[in-house]
């Protein structure tokens, strides 16, 4: 079966005004991370908590995942990376 593991961090609003942020993740095939949409105040640092999903077919070992950030339609690209281990 599939396992869901909490996965989180934080996002900083780079704009000097309230904004909507779309947070998407890039992960190896076989792993999925739920995207998030959050509403940020000006320069706010906002926590995000989502989940990483792995199945029995997911690749085992250490994998790099990245966070893509888009704020009010402005693409900031991959602004963070993390190593995850699937056992």
Helices (H) and strands (E) in the chain, counts: 0, 7
d(CA 71, CA 38): 10
pTM: 0.84
d(CA 12, CA 28): 25
**Whole-Å CA distances, 55 to 20, 42, 80, 84:** 32, 39, 24, 14
- What string of pLDDT tens digits covers the 87 residues of the chain? 678 888 888 999 999 999 999 999 999 988 999 999 999 999 999 999 988 888 878 888 999 999 999 999 999 999 999 999 888
């Amino acid at each position: 079966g599939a396992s869901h593991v909490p996965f989180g961090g934080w996002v900083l609003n780079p704009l000097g005004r309230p904004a909507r942020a779309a947070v998407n993740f890039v992960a190896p095939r076989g792993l999925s991370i739920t995207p998030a949409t959050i509403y940020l105040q000006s320069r706010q640092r906002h926590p995000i908590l989502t989940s990483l999903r792995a199945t029995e077919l997911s690749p085992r070992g250490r994998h790099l995942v990245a966070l893509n950030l888009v704020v009010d339609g402005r693409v900031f690209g991959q602004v963070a990376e993390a190593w995850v281990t699937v056992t």
